[in-house]
Structures are given as C-alpha cells and as structure tokens.
Structure 1
Amino acid sequence: MTDVSAILLALERDLWRANREGDADFYRATLTDDALLVSRFGAAPKTVVVPMIAANRNPFVRTELSDQQVRFLGPTAALVTYRADYTARVDGVDVDLSVLATTVYVERDGQWLVTLHQQTPLGP
C-alpha cells in the first residue's frame, strides 16, 4: 500500500468519526467547496452537508469499514471504495444500516480533499 493510499483510508475513517461526533469543522476542511454527497436521501452540496453534520440529529453510534480499495485516477485524483456497516440513532432507536460507498478525492496544494461521496444502500 502506498503512503497516499494509507492517507486516503485514514481520511475515510476520520470522516466517519467526524460524522459520529458531529465534527462539522473536519467536514468543512476536508470537502472541496464544490463537493457533492449522494445518499438514499438525495444529492447534497457541502453547504448543506456541513450544517447537517453539526446538527448531528441522527448520530452514528457505530461504524465499521471493510473491503476498502484505492484506485488512482491520475497523480492528483483517487477513488476509494468500501462497505460501511453502521448504527444510526434515529428518534432514540438504534438502526443498523449497510452501504457500499465510493469517495473521489482530489489533491490540491498538497492536501487530499473529498469532491464526491456516494453511498448505495444494502438491504431494506
């Protein structure tokens, strides 16, 4: 595994940690200004995602990532794919969910940033 691959996988883990903890500042610093996040709820730009993370209305209480792969699209772009199994607290009830996730990173001024994150739900 290259050093960049390790950096990207660590960033991915940190994004899930930030989601669990409501750490909007980490999202603000790690997403490009034109980033787009796509999930079962639709597509949302950074200007919508960061306040949602800060509000932390459905906190994640558990996240596990597996089957992680890194593919380089060029010297300054990479794709990370994996499975995420997590538990979200929805209206006080813990709900177990699983997704296949893809994150596209771009390198700008020596920093790797998320420009696209997409999740495909697994199961009901």
Structure 2
Amino acid sequence: MDNSTIKQELIDVGAQWAKAMVANDAVRIGSFMTDDWVIVSERGISTKTQFLSFVESGALTHSAFEMAGDARVEQYGDTAVMTIRVANTAHFGGQQFDADELASDVFVKRDGKWLCVLSHITAVDRNFIKERECKI
C-alpha cells in the first residue's frame, strides 16, 4: 500500500474519531485507541482509562473538534505517525477551552484496523508562527 493510501486511511480514522469526540461518546472514542493508549500534553500523561472516565462522567466534553491543514503521515511497516493541526472547543471542570494544537498520533495496524497507541498535543504559539510566517 502506498503512502497516499495510508495517509487517506488515517485522515479518515481521524475524522471519525473527531466525530466521536464531538458526540462525547466514550465507547466510540475508545474504539480508536489501543488498551495501553496514552496522551501526553503540557498537563502530563493520561491513560485511556483516565481520559475516557472524564468523558463518561461528563467532566470533559467537546463541542467542536476538527483537523486543520494538511496531515503529515509516515509509515513504518504496521506503524504510522500522523502529525496534524487540530482546532477544538472543550469543556472541562466548568470552563471552556478553545484550543489550537499540533497533534502527533502513533498508530499500529491490528487485524486490519488502525489503532492509536500514543497521542501528543502541543498548543500552537500563534505569535511565533505569525512572526515567522510559518505554515502549519
């Protein structure tokens, strides 16, 4: 399978995952992750169980979640890395967060299905990008 096919497969997975996030459907969200999935952010490392428990309880909800810009995808056998810019609106602990983030997701192909093993998110520094006219 060529890289453009893999890229489209992962973009499609990402789009379905984003829909599950906006639906706040913990079961569907979890179906895109391996059991040992973790997310790394400026707040630390959270496990799949921790993340989904916030969604299930309603403590974490999303009213918007979309991939922006072009995805970068590299495949390494049954593993692929997708890097993309993500814009989302989340509600956590009674507060709204409008996020513009760079996301890196590591996927493995198991039984013909791409599953995410690791997600890493970093807030976009808009001033840095604007000053340097960077394109993300």
Task: Give TM class, smaller chain.
Answer: 0.7 to 0.9
Select the residue among 41, 44, 53 that pairs with 2:43. 41
Aligned to 1:10: 12
Deviates more, 1:57-66 or 1:86-95: 86-95
Contact 1:22 1:55 in 2 (8 A): no
Contact 1:68 1:80 in 2 (8 A): no
Looking at structure 2, the residues matched to 96 and 47 of structure 1 have their Cα atoms a distance apart, in angstroms, of: 24
Report the RMSD for the aligned CA atoms in angstroms: 2.2
C-alpha change, 1:93 and 1:30, in structure 2 (3 Å) is closer
Identity of aligned residues (%): 25
C-alpha change, 1:88 and 1:28, in structure 2 (3 Å) is closer
Aligned to 2:71: 69
Paired residue secondary structure (1:6): helix
Aligned to 2:56: 54
Structure 1, unmatched stretches of 5+, are none
Paired residue secondary structure (2:50): helix
Give the TM-score taking structure 1 as reference length.
0.84
Residue by residue over 1:26-81, the C-alpha shift from the partner in whole angstroms, topping out at 9 and shown as x without a partner, is 22222111111112321111121222222232322122312232433412111111
C-alpha change, 1:123 and 1:70, in structure 2 (3 Å) is closer
1:26 matched to 2:28? yes
Which has the larger share of strand? 1
Q: Which protein shows a greater Rg?
A: 2
Residue by residue over 1:72-97, the C-alpha shift from the partner in whole angstroms, topping out at 9 and shown as x without a partner, is 34121111111112222356664322
Number of matched residues?
124
Q: Within 5 A, what are the aligned runs for 1:89-108?
A: 89-90=91-92, 94-108=96-110
Supply the AA of the counterpart residue of 2:45.
Answer: A
Looking at structure 1, the residues matched to 13 and 97 of structure 2 have their Cα atoms a distance apart, in angstroms, of: 25
Supply the AA of the counterpart residue of 1:105.
Answer: F
